[in-house]
C-alpha cells in the first residue's frame, strides 16, 4: 500500500483495555472509521440492578456519519454483545464476520428487533475486504468458539495485526487451529508495524492445555461415573460440546440438553456443519426420556452459577423437568469469570448437599483456556516481529506484564505502548503520538432504559441497600394551610418500626417544626427542610444516613 505524507491511522479503544470485556475499538483514517468488535461487559456487585454495560454511546454517535463498517473477530458476548444497542444509531451498517459469528449476531438482532438496521456480510478464513483505505485479511485462530479470526490489516501506516482472542493448540480437535506460518506470511521479511495482542493469560507460564487433554480427562470421568453425568460449560464452546456428544455416543449414553442459549447455539452450529448431533439426543424443553441414570448425560447452562440457569434451577428445585440426584457426577467445564466465584461456590456446596460429586477446573483438568499463555505469546512475537506493540484484552496488570514480555521478545521499550480505554493514539508512517483522552464512560443498560442509569442513580441504589429509606407522608389543606393527614413515617429497609417507634415519633416532631417555620405556599422548601432536618437527626441518633423521601400533597 502506498503511503502519502498525510497518511495516518488513529486507534481509539472504547473498551477492553483495563478490563476483561467490553472490547471495542475505532480505527480512523482519512477515508472513514471502522469499528473493530462491539462487546458488552456484565455488571459487578457495584452495578445494582444493571443488566449489562456497553461502550460509550457518545463516542459512537460522534462517528456515525463516517462509519465504514464493523469488523468482528469472533462471536463471544464481550465482542458482539453490544451490537443491538449501538446499531440503533445507524441504518444499514455493514457487519463483517465469519459464518458462526454472524449466525449469533443475526439471532441477537432478531431478539432486539434490529435486524433491519444492519447488513450482515460473511467473510471466509484467508479472505480480504477493503473498507476505505484499510484492507482486512482474516487469519483463522484457535479459541473457545468456532470461526475465530485474527485481523491482519494493510493500513496507510503499514501492516497491523490484531490477534483477537487466540491460543495455539498444535493438535486441535476441530478446525484448522492457529498457524503461526499464516502470521509470518503476512508479516513478510520486514515484520509488521504494529501488533495488538490478547493479554488475558500473560501471567500464566508455559502453554495452555490442549482440547485433546481435556477430552481425555472427560473420558476418564465418563468411564468411571456410576450414574448420571451432568456437564455445564459455556454454550458457545461448540468444540467442547462436540467432545461431550462424541463421548456420549461412544459410551452409549443419551444426551439431554437444557438451556435456551445452549439449544440455540447447538442448532446454529449443526446447521452450519460445525457440530454433529449424537444419535440419542433430546432437548429437555420437549420432554426428558425415560432412561436409566447410568445411561444419560445432561448438558446444561449454568457454568457461572447464574441463578436462572438450568443447573442452578436443578440444584435449587426450580427446574420443571430436571433435578440433581444423589450419585450424580457434575462437571463444571469452564473457567470462573471474575466476580462469579461466590455464586459458583454456593452452587457447588448445594450440589454436594444433594449427594452429587462435583468436578471443577481448579481441581481437575476438565477445562482448557481459550487464551494464549506466555510461551504462545512469545511465538506470536517471533512470527510477526512487530516494531510497535499495544497489549489489549486484559485488566491493567495484564497489559503492564504483556508490555514487559514484548520487551523481552525484542520490542524496544519506548515502542511498547500502554493504553487505556479512551486514550486515542495516532500513527503515521514514521511516528506515533498520544492524543488527548476522550470520554468513554460505559453506558449502563437497565431493562429498556439505555443510559438513564448513571452514578447518581447507582449511588442512591447503594444507599437504599446499605441504609434504607424513610418516606414522610404529609397532606396539607391548600386553602387553610393546615395539616389534614400526617406526618406519617414509613420505614423501608431503615429500622424495625416497632422497635424504633420512639425514634420515628421524634422524627415526626421535627417534620412539624419544619412545617411551622414554612412560609405559606413554599412547599418545595418544606420538602428540602424535612429532608435536611431528618438526615441530620438520623445521623446523630442512629449513625445512619437513609434516603429521605418527603411526599407533601396539597388538596
Rounded distance, CA 32 to CA 67, Å? 6
Mean pLDDT value of segment 183-198: 97
- φ, ψ at 34 (rounded to 5°): -115, 130
Catalytic site residue from 78, 165, 182, 198: 198
Please say whether the beta carbons of 419 and 26 come within 8 A: no
pLDDT of residue 324: 95
For residue 107, the SS3 value is helix
Q: Check pLDDT > 80 for residue 453.
A: no
pLDDT of residue 48: 47
pLDDT of residue 323: 94
Q: Which three cell numbers stand for residue 344?
A: 459458583
- Of residues 44 and 186, more confidence is placed in 186
pLDDT of residue 484: 82
Q: Which of 94-98, 241-245, 367-371 has the lowest mean pLDDT?
A: 367-371
pLDDT of residue 328: 97
Rounded distance, CA 343 to CA 195, Å? 37
Q: Check pLDDT > 80 for residue 6.
A: no
Q: Check pLDDT > 60 for residue 5.
A: no
Per-position b or e across 161-179, b if 16+ CB within 10 A of its CB: bbbbbbbbbeebbbbebbe
Q: Which of 394-403, 419-428, 432-441, 543-552 has the lowest mean pLDDT?
A: 543-552
Highest mean pLDDT among 110-124, 399-413, 450-464: 399-413
- 464 pLDDT band, cuts 50/70/90, is low
Q: Which three cell numbers stand for residue 48?
A: 445494582
Give, rounded to a whole angstrom, the gap between the first and last alpha carbons of the chain.
76
pLDDT of residue 222: 95
Mean pLDDT of the chain: 88
Q: Check pLDDT > 70 for residue 363.
A: no
pLDDT of residue 449: 47
Rounded distance, CA 133 to CA 136, Å? 10
Residues of the chain with pLDDT > 90, as a percent, come to: 62
313-342: per-residue pLDDT in tens?
999 999 999 999 999 999 999 887 766 788
Catalytic site residue from 76, 137, 371, 402: 371
Rounded distance, CA 365 to CA 52, Å? 31
pLDDT of residue 156: 97
Q: Check pLDDT > 60 for residue 451.
A: no
Q: Check pLDDT > 70 for residue 218.
A: yes
Strands (E) across 208-303 are located at 229-232, 254-258, 281-283, 296-300
37 is annotated as an active-site residue: no
Per-position b or e across 183-204, b if 16+ CB within 10 A of its CB: bbebbeeebbbbbbbbbbbbeb
pLDDT of residue 118: 93
Domains in the chain with CATH codes: 9-206+369-450 (3.60.15.10), 211-360 (3.40.50.10710), 467-554 (3.10.20.580)
477-517: per-residue pLDDT in tens?
877 777 888 788 887 777 666 677 788 888 888 888 888 77
Q: Which of 373-382, 409-418, 539-548 has the lowest mean pLDDT?
A: 539-548
106-157: per-residue pLDDT in tens?
999 998 888 988 999 999 987 899 999 999 999 999 999 999 999 999 999 9
Residue 315 CB neighbours (<10 A): 26
Nearest CA among 210, 204, 212 for reference residue 375: 204
Mean pLDDT value of segment 169-198: 92
Q: Looking at residue 144, what DSSP letter applies?
A: S
371 is annotated as an active-site residue: yes
For residue 3, the SS3 value is coil
Mean pLDDT value of segment 457-482: 71
Torsion, Cα 153 403 381 9, to 10 degrees, reads 20
522-551: per-residue pLDDT in tens?
777 888 888 888 888 888 888 778 888 888
- Of residues 528 and 245, more confidence is placed in 245
Amino acid at each position: 500500500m502506498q503511503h502519502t505524507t498525510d497518511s495516518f491511522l488513529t486507534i481509539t479503544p472504547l473498551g477492553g483495555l483495563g478490563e476483561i470485556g467490553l472490547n471495542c475499538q475505532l480505527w480512523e483514517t482519512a477515508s472513514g472509521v471502522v469499528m473493530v468488535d462491539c462487546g458488552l461487559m456484565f455488571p459487578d456487585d457495584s452495578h445494582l440492578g444493571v443488566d449489562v454495560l456497553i461502550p460509550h454511546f457518545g463516542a459512537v454517535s460522534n462517528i456515525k456519519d463516517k462509519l465504514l463498517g464493523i469488523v468482528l473477530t469472533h462471536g463471544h458476548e464481550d465482542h458482539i454483545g453490544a451490537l443491538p444497542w449501538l446499531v440503533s444509531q445507524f441504518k444499514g451498517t455493514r457487519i463483517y464476520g465469519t459464518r458462526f459469528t454472524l449466525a449469533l449476531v443475526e439471532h441477537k438482532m432478531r431478539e432486539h428487533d434490529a435486524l433491519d438496521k444492519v447488513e450482515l456480510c460473511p467473510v471466509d478464513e484467508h479472505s480480504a475486504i477493503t473498507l476505505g483505505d484499510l484492507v482486512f485479511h482474516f487469519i483463522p485462530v484457535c479459541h473457545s468458539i468456532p470461526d475465530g479470526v485474527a485481523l491482519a490489516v494493510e493500513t496507510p501506516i503499514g501492516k497491523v495485526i490484531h490477534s483477537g482472542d487466540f491460543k495455539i493448540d498444535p493438535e486441535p480437535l476441530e478446525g484448522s487451529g492457529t498457524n503461526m506460518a499464516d502470521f509470518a506470511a503476512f508479516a513478510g521479511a520486514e515484520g509488521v508495524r504494529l501488533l495488538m495482542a490478547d493479554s488475558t493469560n500473560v501471567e500464566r507460564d508455559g502453554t495452555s492445555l490442549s482440547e485433546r487433554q481435556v477430552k481425555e480427562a472427560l473420558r476418564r470421568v465418563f468411564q468411571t461415573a456410576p450414574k448420571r453425568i451432568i456437564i455445564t460449560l459455556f454454550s458457545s464452546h461448540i468444540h467442547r460440546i462436540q467432545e461431550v456428544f462424541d463421548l456420549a455416543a461412544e459410551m452409549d449414553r443419551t444426551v439431554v440438553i437444557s438451556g435456551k442459549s445452549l439449544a440455540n447455539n447447538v442448532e446454529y452450529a449443526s446447521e452450519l456443519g460445525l457440530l454433529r448431533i449424537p444419535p440419542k439426543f433430546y432437548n429437555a424443553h420437549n420432554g426428558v426420556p425415560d432412561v436409566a441414570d447410568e445411561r444419560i448425560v445432561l448438558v446444561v447452562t449454568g457454568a457461572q452459577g447464574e441463578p436462572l440457569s438450568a443447573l442452578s434451577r436443578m440444584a435449587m428445585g426450580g427446574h420443571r423437568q430436571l433435578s440433581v440426584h444423589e450419585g450424580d457426577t457434575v462437571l463444571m467445564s469452564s473457567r470462573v469469570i471474575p466476580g462469579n466465584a461466590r455464586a459458583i461456590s454456593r452452587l457447588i456446596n448445594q450440589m454436594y448437599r444433594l449427594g452429587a460429586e462435583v468436578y471443577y477446573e481448579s481441581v481437575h483438568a476438565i477445562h482448557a483456556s481459550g487464551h494464549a499463555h506466555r510461551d504462545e505469546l512469545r511465538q506470536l512475537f517471533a512470527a510477526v516481529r512487530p516494531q510497535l506493540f499495544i497489549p489489549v484484552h486484559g485488566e491493567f496488570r495484564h497489559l503492564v506484564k504483556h508490555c514487559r514480555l514484548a520487551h523481552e521478545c525484542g520490542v524496544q521499550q519506548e515502542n511498547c505502548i500502554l493504553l487505556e480505554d479512551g486514550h486515542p493514539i495516532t500513527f503515521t508512517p514514521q511516528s506515533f503520538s498520544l492524543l488527548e483522552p476522550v470520554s468513554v464512560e460505559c453506558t449502563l443498560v437497565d431493562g429498556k432504559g439505555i443510559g438513564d442509569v448513571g452514578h447518581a442513580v447507582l449511588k442512591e441504589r447503594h444507599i437504599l441497600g446499605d441504609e434504607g429509606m424513610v418516606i414522610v407522608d404529609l397532606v396539607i389543606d391548600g386553602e387553610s394551610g393546615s395539616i389534614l393527614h400526617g406526618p406519617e413515617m414509613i420505614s423501608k429497609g431503615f429500622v424495625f418500626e416497632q422497635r424504633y417507634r420512639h425514634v420515628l415519633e421524634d422524627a415526626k416532631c421535627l417534620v412539624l417544626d419544619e412545617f411551622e417555620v414554612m412560609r405559606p405556599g413554599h412547599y418545595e422548601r418544606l420538602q428540602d427542610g424535612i429532608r435536611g432536618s431528618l438526615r441530620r437527626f438520623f445521623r446523630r441518633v442512629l449513625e445512619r444516613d437513609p434516603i429521605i423521601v418527603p411526599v407533601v400533597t396539597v388538596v
